[in-house]
A and B are shown apart, each in its own frame.
Chain A
């Protein structure tokens, strides 16, 4: 996994490569598979390169799907891929709301 020159099976187009996997950012299965062949081996790298899981739902829907595709492409188990970091805010929040932060005082 850590050796980025790891041999992968050759990239063969698949009939459902144009199927959208990350709905928020409209990233397809083919783009994800291609990214793996371009060296994006971890979920974090895929996110940085393609924006999967970086939209409004922050990966709640697609993280497992992306993991499945990447792990099949790499020939590893999905849980070997490492986590996708959880970051605030847990839900999208308008700037004007975030801007109004008051300490709850007794």
Chain B
């Protein structure tokens, strides 16, 4: 007799694990297969804090979310089989899996396909040279295998992946020489761009790679500006000596297994490729086969987790572990959480739209979109940026994104977002900041600073989130960089705070001449002024 499970899950990433947890909670016998040696999918590479609200596990680092999911799955008796490659899905929901040196045949009364995505490539002369890698691959090398992909890196792509990985490359000790993107505007969250830009990384929008140079491996890269027909404008070429070119040019659903299983497929540009058509529960055209996460349309890990939960709930209802009513009720809750994530300027429905002002009617920072940072003359118009005597938060959060941990982080309730999760945070002038720094550490976008604009001795103090090693020490002298990453003045570290509650976001406070209070946003040690 062939072994049979209530649910077979393909892929132990955020969607697969979440589905397995939800199904197992309802009493289902669930197995999860993953081809990798480590579970968690992309989560274990994500060392940054996630956006969202509490229900989306906001301000928790991705790999911690992965650990939580794994522990929960284990507790519920979910079998997670690693180094297990699903070879195919055959009629009667039979799955063949390569395990160790052999192949097993198992059947599932339901199957969830959560195989995720693969990285897109772009071609240019030299793109096949060693040293041209996907940004996700770079992240795997750094964060899973502890290997530096290179020393000097050019990042192509200013979406969230390109921005997050650029920052992580610098955290790992690489130099990022530039972020380039053929699009005319930064594609990812402005706060991600800003934290890269203030480290001194130049942004080249409307630029693409002309060629990778090198004989046996990458030794350099030439980029150039493109016109509106995507043709290089002669004379705009720029060369960089690099040993690595990272491509962060999007993901494609890895949906071959769905196709093989006989699911109806569609080539849907809005979902970034070839995906199974699914109903509101993630069920494909084959009854009992579900798809969740990137395989059914590229989105964030946070959405993948909710899609997985919905599929797990639906599968439980299909097999009679819960009633239809319970299914509808629970799925509706998850749907609401998913809707919460799909709001704001970066919502799936907003793709390609030109936004000129925020929901509050504030004019968008064009400099942020073109150069990766908010210009000094723009920053004052945002509601998180206010001035008062003594220490107070300055929130340089200028786009409507679904994220609100800062509002709960302040014990004094200085920060307001309200019930609309995408609203820009604003400062309550009635409430008094104590300078505790919880807001600085809680901001996944590293966009909150504590500023004391006038310490009374001609200096100002700026407290900023700092996630680099070695950690500067009190008394260290260096330079302050502005939002563009330019050196603007000398700076001295007055204290560095690390607390468990900050979860490795250190709070570095530097003293600068007071005229730089609203300009100085990063500290660099090695170049003593």
Contacts and interface: CB of A to CB of B under 8 A. Distances in A.
B85 A104 contact: no
Interface string A13-31: 0001001110100000100
A20 to B, nearest CB: 5
A98 to B, nearest CB: 6
A63 B255 CA distance: 12
Given A83-B274, A85-B259, A91 B106 contact: no
Contacts of A103: 1-3, 104-105
B257 A61 contact: no
B2 A89 contact: no
A101 B2 contact: no
Interface string B86-104: 1110100000101001111
B32 to A, nearest CB: 15
Contacts of A106: 1, 3
Interface string B243-265: 00000000010111111100001
B217 interface: no
B228 to A, nearest CB: 17
A102 B100 CA distance: 12
Contacts of B2: 103-105
Contacts of B274: 83
B35 interface: yes
Contacts of B258: 86
Contacts of A101: 96, 102-105
B102 A97 contact: yes
A94 B265 CA distance: 29
Contacts of B103: 93, 97-98, 100-102
A19 B123 contact: yes
A105 B3 contact: yes
B114 to A, nearest CB: 14
Contact of B96 (A20, A63, A81, A88): A88
Chain B interface category by residue count? 35 or more
Contacts of A102: 102-105
B121 A65 contact: yes
A83 B105 contact: no
B120 A64 contact: yes
A89 B97 CA distance: 10
B146 interface: no
A32 to B, nearest CB: 11
Contacts of B125: 16, 19
Contact of B257 (A16, A81, A90): A90
A41 to B, nearest CB: 15
Contact of A105 (B1, B118, B120): B1
Given A79-B269, A101-B96, A90 B88 contact: yes
A86 B118 CA distance: 15
Contacts of A82: 267
Interface of B: 1-3, 35, 85-88, 90, 96, 98, 101-106, 118, 120-125, 127-128, 252, 254-260, 265, 267-269, 273-274
Which 10 residue pairs of A and B lie closest in terms of their CB atoms, listed nearest first?
A: A86-B256, A88-B88, A86-B259, A79-B267, A100-B102, A101-B103, A104-B3, A89-B87, A104-B104, A86-B260
